[in-house]
């Protein structure tokens, strides 16, 4: 069985990173617009919102890496 440490290493795996970055950019941008678009337009982005906005991109990245990790693990 694979470990959490192995998954952590996958987060920085160049073979997985390219796809995950593309997914993160597209999905993260859609979520950013939904969750923070009006605040950005109104100039109401504060520190907490920017942190939340950053997480908006990190989560799709991690989910994509997880999907790739599980898919590759099952092929072995």
Q: Is the pLDDT of residue 7 over 60?
A: yes
Residues 6+ apart with CB under 8 A from 32: 53, 56, 57
The burial of 18, by beta-carbon neighbours within 10 Å (0-12 exposed, 13-18 middle, 19 or more buried), is given as: exposed
Structure confidence at residue 30 (pLDDT)? 98
pLDDT at position 1 is 44
Question: Six-digit token pair at 70?
Answer: 């599980």
The number of distinct structural domains making up the chain is 1
The pLDDT > 90 percentage for the chain reads 74
pLDDT, one tens digit per residue, over 12-39 is 899 999 999 999 999 999 999 999 999 9
Domain hosting 70: range is 4-75
Residue 41 pLDDT level (bands cut at 50, 70, 90)? very high
The answer to whether the CB of 25 falls within 8 A of the CB of 59 is no
């Amino acid at each position: 069985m694979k470990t959490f440490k192995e998954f952590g290493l996958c987060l920085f795996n160049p073979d997985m990173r390219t796809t995950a970055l593309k997914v993160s950019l597209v999905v993260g941008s859609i979520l950013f617009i939904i969750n923070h678009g009006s605040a950005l337009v109104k100039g109401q982005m504060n520190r907490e919102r920017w942190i939340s906005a950053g997480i908006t991109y990190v989560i799709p990245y991690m989910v994509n890496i997880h999907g790739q990790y599980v898919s590759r693990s099952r092929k072995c």
